[in-house]
Copies of this chain bind each other. A is one copy, B any other.
Amino acid sequence: MQMMFEYFSSFGDLSPSNMEFLLSHIQQGKLNKGEKLIRANQTVGSCYFFEEGFLHYYTHNDFGNRITLKVISPNYCWTIMESFVNQSPTLDECIALTDVRYCELKRADYMAIKSKSIELSNFIQNITEQILSAKLLEAKKKSSTTVEERYMDLLHTHPELVQEVPVHVIASWIGTSRETLHRIRRRLSVA
């Protein structure tokens, strides 16, 4: 869990005793390729930090088609916020696309950490604010770029993801069909 320690450290300083307290509540887990982390109708009881591997987080539209909401890469903190915060069941699912190693913080522990001291509470608040800010930037980027720009950006920032994740999953995530994405890939490989 060295990666998780470094992830937390990037949000600012925390006294060693509080960092120790925080890390002491983390549990490590593994998933095999094809295993589900979250199944439909489940209430999400943890937040997760992924150290290795890729996951596919998806929902279904009114026609039952699978829509990719996120392809999760290593070094990423994630949960289904609605279900985690409000303790309501989710219809979304999350499945391992490769073997995965992760750290898990259960909701009861998360609440205990927030209530331990104002330093820890504000530290968690800083993390939440940064995550919210990142989500808004992601949404802004999606609104102001074309599908081709989004794919090219992925090629530059996540080349391993593009290698390991099926084209139809990536296509859905960036907002197009697998046919159109194949045409984009052909166009980019000719240039």
Closest to A133 in B: B81
Report A54 CB to chain B, min CB distance, Å: 19
A45 contacts partner chain B, Cβ-Cβ < 8 Å: no
Q: Are B81 and A144 in contact (CB under 8 A)?
A: no
A19 at the interface (CB under 8 A from B): no
> Could you mark each residue 110-138 of chain A with 1 if its beta carbon is under 8 Å from any beta carbon of chain B, else 0?
00001101100110110011111101110
The residues of B that contact A175 with a CB separation of less than 8 Å are 143
Q: What is the interface size of chain A, counting residues whose CB is below 8 A from a CB of the partner? A: 35
Known: A69-B140, A144-B67. A122 touches B132 (CB 8 A): no
Known contacts A122-B114, A128-B125, A128-B128; decide if A82 and B133 are in contact (CB<8 Å).
Answer: yes
Q: Are B140 and A139 in contact (CB under 8 A)?
A: no
- Tell me if A59 is interfacial: C-beta within 8 Å of chain B: yes
Within 8 A of B (CB), among A68-84: 68-69, 81-82
Asked whether A163 is an interface residue with its Cβ less than 8 Å from the other chain, the reply is no
B59 touches A133 (CB 8 A): no
Chain B residues closer than 8 Å to A135, beta-carbon distance: 132, 135-136, 139
A85 at the interface (CB under 8 A from B): yes
Distance of A138 from chain B, by nearest CB (Å): 8
How far apart sit A104 and B162, CA to CA, in the bound complex (Å)? Answer: 44
13 further interface pairs, Cβ-Cβ under 8 Å (given A82-B136, A114-B122): A59-B140, A59-B144, A61-B144, A61-B145, A69-B139, A69-B140, A81-B133, A82-B137, A92-B140, A121-B121, A128-B132, A135-B135, A143-B175
9 A-B contacts (beta carbon < 8 Å) = A59-B143, A62-B144, A68-B143, A69-B140, A81-B133, A85-B130, A121-B125, A132-B135, A135-B135
